[in-house]
Chains A and B, each alone.
Chain A
Amino acid sequence: MRRPLAFLGVNVALALAALLTLFPLAWMVSASLMAPGEASTYPPPMLPRAATLANYRLLFAEHGILRQAANSLLISLLATGLSLTFNLCAGYGFAKLRFAGRERVFRLLLGALVVPAQVTMMPLFLMLKGMGLVNSYAGALVPWLASVFGIYLVRQYTLTIPDELLEAARMDGAGELRIFALVVLPLLKPIVVTLAVLSFLGSWNDFMWPLIVLTDHDVQTLPVALAALSREHVQDVELMMAGAVITVLPVLLLFLVLQRYYMQGLLVGGVKG
């Protein structure tokens, strides 16, 4: 007789966990549709009395949040492109091309992982200030050029490509760039998507560096602008929730569509790391 009880226990626990986990996100959406002041009543309402898009309209019309949304989108797309370019080349190089010092350099790179990125922020800021790149997309993009994790991710995946395939292409007289573009890249497609998703989500969600390097309202990303807005509009719960929805929804949807690739990256980075 223990089976049905255990069955019930496991499934009720899971349902409860999912309810608690999704509740803040559901409430965020619900409150974003409420009229001003409606969320600040007791007992706290779960659903809007009459759903309205007024908060979204206000954000776009009065606060011009389209600008920050465009900044976020552009920076994330550029970060993804840069990260793919640098990390795919390097990951392939470390996995399949022989050169003196390869293993030593790769070990040094992995060693660099112990240093938290925040250590670099003060000098990096000065450096970018010297180059006139504070408050520019370029300033926000600098940390996304190449990453040790990205190189590692690509390298691990590339190691599974058989050497014979590359040798055969070389025998046929194909140049190294050609081999990379026409033979290797198509085989790397899954890890390309994985790295693209991780880079896009990572740069979209990034907070501390954009907060430091993007101080002008017009170049700020959504998370930074939202944080600033929430300090000015402590009372406007519904407005803030609309801002949170605009910030969170794009990445949540992207994740839902490309979930398989995201999880793959997480497991390569996690379990085998």
Chain B
Amino acid sequence: MKPSRVGWLFVAPALVAIAVFFVVPVAAALVMSATDFDIYALADLRNVRLVGLANYLQLLQRPLFWRALANTMFFVVIGVPLSIAVSLGAALLLHSRLARFRGFYRTALFAPVVTTLAAVAVVWVFLLHGRYGLVNYGLAWLGLRPVDWLGDPRWAMPAIVLLSVWKNFGYNMIILLAGLQAIPGDLYEAARLDGAGPGALFRHITVPALAPILLMVSILTMAGHFQVFAEPYVMTQGGPAERTVTVLYLMYEDGFKWWSLGSASAVAFVLFLFMLAFSLLQARLGRAAGSP
């Protein structure tokens, strides 16, 4: 057999699967977002009509869409930096030569990453319980007032950020730790001989060396945060006062509760555009900061 044909035969099954179950659906979603596909169309496809950009224009006029966008942006803008800061802090601790039992701590801090999000969200619902929750018990122990985490519109999203940081920081911690371990030790030695303190070492050696990894990690983390869904679905069902309705939650409700699949497709594409725009923006900012 010709070598070229062998190569194609090896990659063909995967390419066909990706084409049929990914590429075609993406294209179909784009078309669907320009139709009024709803529960009647679900019963009989002849009820579908092309409506152009009507779904998108309608979204712009829906207060719930803007609410969902604002909630998601809150989750991204607060959650991503917080999550990366915790990851970096944990990675620095694990990297410290003074640390004991590093292997154990690495595993312990990473454990939440492999747990099932929907299940630990159920656990956190009770940890965050207004009266019997251990989070509030801890706050009381510190002399702070209890918070009605999932019942108070102001606190529900911060509560979800809290769960998300706990669940995810271990992932970036491992990547940043690998980055820290790749920095040559003599760099630090040389700087120390020149009289640099720990703060200066961190600012002038650690941060610049980690910068490319930090940029990549923040782009990936941001993409993940834009896709927040299971937490509000399990913990708050979008409430209280719609303060935890996220863009994907809106897509799920539009599409699979009300069967407005056309409108849901439009929501999905808006999310896609937002993710794309923010990734490009961040990559550009990162590159600008990296090349003075």
Residues of A bordering B, CB below 8 Å: 6-7, 10-11, 13-14, 17-18, 20-25, 27-28, 31, 39-44, 85-87, 89-90, 92-94, 97-100, 102, 105, 109, 112, 114-127, 142-143, 145-148, 151, 176, 180, 201, 204-205, 207-208, 211-212, 222-224, 226-227, 230-231, 237, 240-241, 243-244, 247-248, 251-252, 255-256, 259, 262-263, 266-267, 270-271, 273
Give the most central of B94, B115, B127, B261: most A CB within 10 Å. B115
The smallest beta-carbon distance between A39 and chain B, in angstroms, is 7
Flag if B123 contacts A252 (CB, 8 Å): no
Q: How many residues of B contact A (CB 8 A)?
A: 94
Flag if A10 contacts B166 (CB, 8 Å): no
Chain A interface, >50% SS class: helix
Flag if A11 contacts B117 (CB, 8 Å): no
For the complex, is B142 an interface residue (Cβ under 8 Å from A)? no
Flag if A124 contacts B10 (CB, 8 Å): no
Besides A44-B132, A252-B111, 12 new A-B residue pairs in contact (Cβ under 8 A), listed by A number:
A85-B13, A118-B227, A119-B29, A119-B271, A123-B25, A126-B261, A223-B119, A226-B119, A227-B122, A244-B119, A251-B115, A271-B216
- Pick the contact of A145: B21, B26, B248, B251 (CB < 8 A): B21
Given the known interface contacts A25-B112, A116-B275, the answer about A205 and B117 at a Cβ–Cβ threshold of 8 Å is yes
- Pick the contact of B175: A17, A125, A201, A267 (CB < 8 A): A267
Flag if A14 contacts B105 (CB, 8 Å): yes
A contact residues around B276 at 8 Å (CB): 114
Residues of B bordering A, CB below 8 Å: 1, 3-11, 13-15, 17-18, 21-26, 28-29, 32, 37, 42, 90, 93-94, 96, 98-101, 104-105, 107-109, 111-112, 114-120, 122-127, 129, 131-134, 137, 166, 170-171, 174-175, 178-179, 213, 216-217, 220, 223, 226-227, 229-230, 233-234, 237, 248, 251-252, 255-256, 261, 264-265, 268-269, 271-272, 275-276, 279
B contact residues around A231 at 8 Å (CB): 237
10 closest A-B pairs by beta carbon, nearest first, are A99-B7, A93-B10, A97-B7, A90-B14, A123-B28, A120-B25, A146-B14, A223-B118, A145-B17, A93-B11
Given the known interface contacts A97-B3, A267-B174, the answer about A251 and B114 at a Cβ–Cβ threshold of 8 Å is yes
Flag if B248 contacts A208 (CB, 8 Å): yes
Nearest B residue to A255, CB-CB = B114
Nearest A residue to B125, CB-CB = A230
Flag if A21 contacts B252 (CB, 8 Å): no
B contact residues around A99 at 8 Å (CB): 3-8, 11
- Pick the contact of B234: A10, A27, A227, A259 (CB < 8 A): A227
B contact residues around A211 at 8 Å (CB): 233, 252
Flag if A122 contacts B268 (CB, 8 Å): yes
